[in-house]
Every structure is written in C-alpha cells, then in structure tokens.
A and B are shown apart, each in its own frame.
Chain A
Amino acid sequence: MSVKGLFFAGGRPADLLIRGAHLLDPRTGLDSPGDVLVRAGEIAEIGAPGALPAPDSAETVEAEGLHLFPGFVDPHVHFRTPGQEHKEDLASGTAAAAAGGFTAVIAMPNTAPVVDDAPVLRSLRDAAERQARVPVGFLAAITRGLAGSELTEMAELRDAGALGFTDDGRPVVSAGMLRKALQYQRLTGGVLGLHEEDPSLSNGCVMHEGAVSARLGLAGYPSVGESTIVARDAALAKFEEGRMHFQHLSAAESVEALAYWKGRGAQVTGEASPHHLTLTDEAVLSLDTRYKMNPPLRAESDRQALIAGLKDGTIDCIATDHAPHAKHEKEVPFEEAPNGVTGLETSFASVYTELVKPGIIPLSLLIEKLTSGAALFDLCTPRIEVGLPANLALVDLGASWVVGEHGYVSRSANSCFFGRTFDGVVRLTVAAGTVAHRALDRAEVAA
C-alpha cells in the first residue's frame, strides 16, 4: 500500500475505542481527557471521556491515565536494506519504529547498493509494501554511489517516489556539486537533506574535540567542522532559492548558522537527535562504543544550544538517526567501531525523561517536534482529528522501563541509552489506520 510517498504492508483497518486517555495534539489544540473512536482505520469520533459508546465491532482500550498523541514521524532512519540485513531490515526496523510510537519514517539511501537509481528504489518500495509495519518513505542519493562527483538521475528518482535526496553518512564536499543539485531541484522538487561535515577538519576523527578527547588520546573534530559547512550550504540554498534540511545537527555554532540563514529567508530547516539533546562527550570517557556516532556527542554548551534551538524554533524537528549495527561490529576498540546508535525505541522516552520531566521543555513541544518532520518532507502531519487516518501513539507516562532489559525490537542492540531507566512506555501504536504495536498487557501489570 502507499499513501502520499509512503509505503507499507498495510493490515486490517482498526476498529478501536480508546477510552479516557489524555488527548494531546499541539496542532488541533487538544489537551484534555477524551474518547477517540477509530472506525475502519479512520478517526471517526472524538468525545468527552466516557461519552462514546463502544460499538459492537470495536475493541475498547481502557486508557484512563495514559496519553494519546498523534503518531510520531522520524525523518531520519537507517534500515540497512538492501545489503546489510544482518543489522536491520524493513520488517525489523518498522517494528522498532512502531514500538517507539512512530507512524511514519524516512529511510536513508546509504545502503549497499546505494539508492542512487530508480530500480533500487522501486525494489525497496516493493519490499516495504510486503514487509513494512509502519509507512516508510525513502530518500535517494544526491550523488552516484555517494561519491560526491556526479548527480543521480534525480528526476527519475522523484518519479519513482523519492521524497528527496541525501548523501547522508557523508557530506557533499564540493560546493559546486551541491550547487548543481540545488539548481536541479527546481526541476525535481523534493528536499535536499545534508550531513554536514568538513572532512579536512574531521578526517580520522572519532569523537568531539575537547577535554575528553584530550584525555583519551582519541582524534577529535571540533564543532566548527560541522558549522562552517552548515553556513556555507545555507548560503548556497539562499542563493539558489533551494530547499535544504540539515540532518542531525550537533554543534552550537551550527544552530547559530541555521538561525542566521533562516532569518535571511533561506528555505533551510534542521533536526536534532535525542542523543545529542540528552548526552555529551563525557559519556565517551567510558570508551563504550555505544556512544560512537557521527556527528559525535559534543559539549554541554552544544547540548544546551540544541535545546534552546528546539524551544525557539531554530531546530524544526527531532530525528533519531537510528543506525543499527550488529553486536560483533561494535565489540571492538572505540576507534575501530562503526558510527551509529539505534534510537527508534527510545526516542520519545529519552527526551521525555531528560527534558520534559525536569521541566526543561513542555510535553506539547516534544510532541510537536516528534511530528513536525513530516511536513519538512511534504508528508501529511499526523493529527488527532475526525476524518483523518488514525496515526496515534498511546503512551503511559507513569510507567518506567530499563532500556535493553527485555531486549530490543530492532535487530540490533547498539543503544546509547542501554541500562538507563526511562519514563514513558508506548502501549499502542496505530499507523495509517492499522495497529502496528501493542503492549497493553504490560500496562495492566504495571497498573
């Protein structure tokens, strides 16, 4: 099945009465307890708590004390297919997404082979229509083989369903190359997603440069290794009037550059990951490879700048950069380990626990930032609204869990939050009208 650029296996349209949950949707203004009736996969009615009678055909979920949010959207995941299915595939990745409350995700093209021509993209769409539990969209590569030297057939890739383009995992090093992609974007539409890194400042580096890298003797790359390229590319976006989305921003200087160019009218947006919002390079002192990712965890001042960016709107959305790796691949010395951490199952809970519970950001802002990735890629933003397909996440904010204690839904276990206790358990995910995840029994146990 497909809905506006997203592909999934589909399933039986849900008939559900979710009764008494606290409904929270920053876009419709809902912020009170209520009943939501889902009929044939659509939101059919919204009423006061206990007001909606249970139809005979519908399952009733007693959700008093739980929160019902619009389903989350993650514009940045790596599902490793084709080529590295031992890390993740569309079935396991979308199951992990559903377990995290996500109802739409966007997969990156740095697979093997790279998604740089239409046949590869079409085969992925077909696979998603067989295997994906929640709708998946795809970005295609900007340059062939991510090599940075030749544009992909962007127009054909767009026709084949690419939501946009990215060489994620690598920067587009040449400003001239990126300029051509921006010019060509006028023909193709779609957003250019950019992984920003100046290799002349980051080559051989495995973490943030600072006191921790000095202590560990690890090669570190400074924040300006990211921010100088953000500033360069935003200037290009403005010059060519193109649309550009900065992926996984990690540095205070990058947030400043993004704010500056937004202020000048450039069509630029940015995302931050839960790990960059909640952890710093201090974590790397353990030399645990679960803290190795690119861009790296940076200083506390960078983390604070990302949080400030979320609050003032400079950072448009939260994206996980879910990057699974097999156990044995991470069981090597830090310098040898591949970059990347999983994130779909912990995204909501990590930010809720670390930023919402202590009062640093409001819950409604978290829900907004976990859903606003959709519009950045021209997808429909999930809303709790009558007549729309049901994209819903039912979350128990009062329940806590230990990350990894019961394993993971993802095929990989490389979570940087392993062992942490988080509040917020996703009890039910309804994605595009079908039940994609349910953990209601544990709710009863916990209650």
Chain B
Amino acid sequence: MRHLLSIDDLDREGIERVLDRAASFAEVAGREIKKVPALRGRTVVNLFYEASTRTSSSFELAAKRLSADLVSIRAATSAVAKGESLKDTIATLTAYDPAAIVIRSPHAGAAKLVAGWTDAAVVNAGDGKHEHPTQALLDVFTLRQRLGSLDGVKIWIVGDVLHSRVARSDILAFTRMGAQVTLSGPPTLIPRGIEALGCTVEPTLERLPEADVVYVLRMQHERMSEAYVPSLREYAMRYQIGLDRLRPEQLLMHPGPVNRGVELSGDAIDSPQALIGQQVEAGVVVRMAVLYELLAGAGAAKAAPVPAGFESAVAA
C-alpha cells in the first residue's frame, strides 16, 4: 500500500495486518517510555483544512511516538488563508521531503489529488463527505478488541449518513470484515442509492433491538446549508439513542464530537456499554500502525530498516 486514501485501498487481510500491528503498538502505549524509533529522521506533515481535535492530535501523537519529525499546518494560519492553491501548497511542502502527508480537507478527493502531486505517502484524514479511513480502522480495531471478530455482527449506523464520511468508510470496512450493516435515520439524511455499498436502510428504529452494535453519527450542523429535519427536537424524539432504546448487551459507538442531547442522550454516553473512550484511545495506535505500514511496512515506498530494539514492538 502506497497511500491510504480510501478503505478500498485495503482488503480484509490488509485491514487485519494494520490492526494487528496497532495491537502491538498498544503494548508500547502501556510502557513508561511510549516512543519507538521506527520513523526517526523522517518527516510527517499534518495538513488540516478543517477543524479537528481528535484526528489531528492523534496523528500528531502517532507520528511523535514513532519518532518522526512533525510539521502541523492549519489552513487558517497558513499561506492557504492567503489564497494559495492546494497544488502550490503541496509543492511547497514537498520541498521539505516529507515521508508522509496527512491531509484533511472539506472536499472529496483532495487526498487523492495530493497523492498525484507528491512522492510522499498520503493519508486521508477525512475528505469532504467522502471517506475517513483511519476512523473506520480504529472503529474496527475497537470492535475487534471487544468482540474478537466482526463476522456476522449486526451493526446499525444511525443518524446523518448524508454528511458523514465516517459512515461511508465504516460501511466499507465493517462489511469487508464480515459484519452486516444497516443504516437508519431521517430519509432526508440517507443518500439515495447508498444501498449499493452493500448495506440495508431502515427508516425507523423499530428493529434496532436486532443490532449488536449501535453506531451513532454526529448531526453535522456545520455541513448543512438547509434544514434537513424540521427541528432537532423532532430528530431527538425519533432517532436519539438513549438507554431507553438500548438493550444492555448492545455496544454503543460514536466518532465524536458528540452533540449531547441531540443524537445521544447523556445517560447513554456515560454508560458502560459506550465504547466512545476506547475509540479515542484506539486512534493513536491505529494511526501509528497506518504510518508504519506506509513508511516502514512491507509495501512501503521507501522501506526503512527496523531499528535495533524495535523488533519486538512491531512483531505481529
């Protein structure tokens, strides 16, 4: 794998390879010194054209724990704010000879474009409403930690699918790992034709009890230019996930940040069946594994030798 632009860049075996490596990094995370020297002397650029807390910080931590040199660029404070095109920005950054560019953009396909303009490995950290592959990987990682396998697991993805890149990558990753995916939400927020991705659509939550996992999406007000639901109050009445709608055995997930009291009730967020904290934790080790896979793994463009003392940490 040269870049991670889409879950489509990984087959099931590839996903398992990355997640097995993430599991070995999880052991490192338990040590007092959490750093490994795998990417020493190599540069990782984080280029974020959209606000982000957990994705950007976990990519930063991942790069640092792999001992890479890190440059983090936020569009609002850079030349981008002065009107520089994406292509010109990438040309400038390429002068630093980065090993990897992690990019988040409000536009579908931005990461793919960047991959065509640079020799660096490119990681899509979210492109518009298209994909967010590392989120899907950490979601699969979290579920694998809890359930062992996703084969036959029934996962309901609930809420604003239309504006969600997480939903698209999750549908691809969950089904690839053997799960059955059902989408539910207001019909105005379920894109026409989405069943072609291999999922089913339920307009109501009546059959929610059949789910093993309930994955709740954020209501993305910031992406909505018009009213897709009559009111958040009506949305909450029909689709909010609270303990009243969950069986105790059902696992609850959410990509964050949560609109407390909109798509999730407070009691559900804080309940033991919620894996939201585990998802955030998984973010760092999964992103370490992705950077390692791209820069030092078997298929890396410029394979770096595994430094002495590191073999055990990456043995998978």
Contact = CB atoms under 8 A, between A and B. Distances in A.
Interface residues of B, number: 27
A215 B196 contact: yes
B110 A328 contact: no
Interface in A186-226: 204, 209-218, 220, 222
A214 B164 CA distance: 11
A110 B85 CA distance: 26
A360 interface: no
Nearest to B87: A331
Interface in B102-142: 105, 107-110, 112-113, 127-131
Given A217-B108, A328-B87, A333 B192 contact: no
Of A222, A328, A332, chain B has the most CB atoms within 10 Å of the CB of A332
Given A287-B112, A333-B110, A217 B87 contact: no
A156 interface: no
A256 interface: no
24 contacts: A209-B192, A209-B193, A210-B192, A211-B196, A213-B193, A214-B193, A215-B168, A215-B193, A215-B197, A216-B108, A216-B109, A216-B130, A217-B108, A217-B130, A218-B130, A287-B109, A328-B87, A331-B85, A332-B113, A333-B110, A334-B107, A334-B109, A335-B107, A336-B107
Interface in A210-266: 210-218, 220, 222
Contacts of A332: 85-87, 107, 113
Contacts of A220: 191-192
Contacts of A212: 193
Interface string B188-217: 000111111100000000000000000000
A287 B195 CA distance: 20
Interface string B62-75: 00000000000000
Contacts of B113: 287, 331-333
B105 A333 contact: yes
A287 B110 CA distance: 9
Q: Which 10 A-B pairs have the closest CB atoms?
A: A217-B129, A333-B107, A287-B109, A211-B196, A211-B193, A214-B191, A214-B194, A214-B193, A217-B130, A210-B193
Given A214-B194, A218-B108, 15 more contacts: A213-B193, A214-B193, A214-B196, A214-B197, A216-B109, A217-B128, A217-B165, A287-B108, A287-B109, A328-B87, A331-B85, A332-B86, A333-B86, A334-B107, A336-B107
Contacts of A333: 86, 105, 107-110, 113, 127-128
Interface of B: 85-87, 105, 107-110, 112-113, 127-131, 163-165, 168, 191-197, 225
A212 B193 CA distance: 8
A421 B86 CA distance: 31
A335 to B, nearest CB: 5
Contacts of B110: 333
Interface string A312-350: 000000000000000010011111100000000000000
A131 B109 CA distance: 40
Contacts of A215: 168, 193-194, 196-197
A217 B168 contact: yes
Nearest to B162: A217
B192 A218 contact: no
A429 to B, nearest CB: 36
Contacts, number: 74
Contacts of B112: 287
A211 B191 CA distance: 8
Contacts of A213: 191, 193
B200 to A, nearest CB: 14
Contacts of B194: 211, 214-215
A218 B193 CA distance: 12
Contacts of B192: 209-210, 214, 220, 222
A7 B105 CA distance: 47
Contacts of B131: 217
Contacts of B127: 333
A333 B107 CA distance: 6
A113 B89 CA distance: 32
Nearest to B110: A333
Contacts of A218: 108, 128-130
Nearest to B129: A217
Of A222, A328, A333, A334, chain B has the most CB atoms within 10 Å of the CB of A333
A334 B87 CA distance: 14
A350 B225 CA distance: 39
A216 B307 CA distance: 40
Contacts of A222: 192
A210 B197 CA distance: 12
A380 B109 CA distance: 46
Contacts of B191: 209, 213-214, 217, 220
A214 B131 CA distance: 11
Nearest to A336: B107
Contact of B128 (A204, A214, A328, A335): A335
Contacts of B130: 216-218
A214 B87 CA distance: 27
Nearest to B169: A217
A334 B242 CA distance: 38
Contacts of B164: 217
A425 B129 CA distance: 42
B211 to A, nearest CB: 22
Contacts of B107: 332-336
Contacts of A211: 193-196
A22 B129 CA distance: 53
Nearest to B114: A333
A105 B194 CA distance: 41
A379 B225 CA distance: 45
A222 B107 CA distance: 21
B313 to A, nearest CB: 36
A204 B129 CA distance: 13
B131 to A, nearest CB: 7
A204 B108 contact: no
Nearest to B132: A217
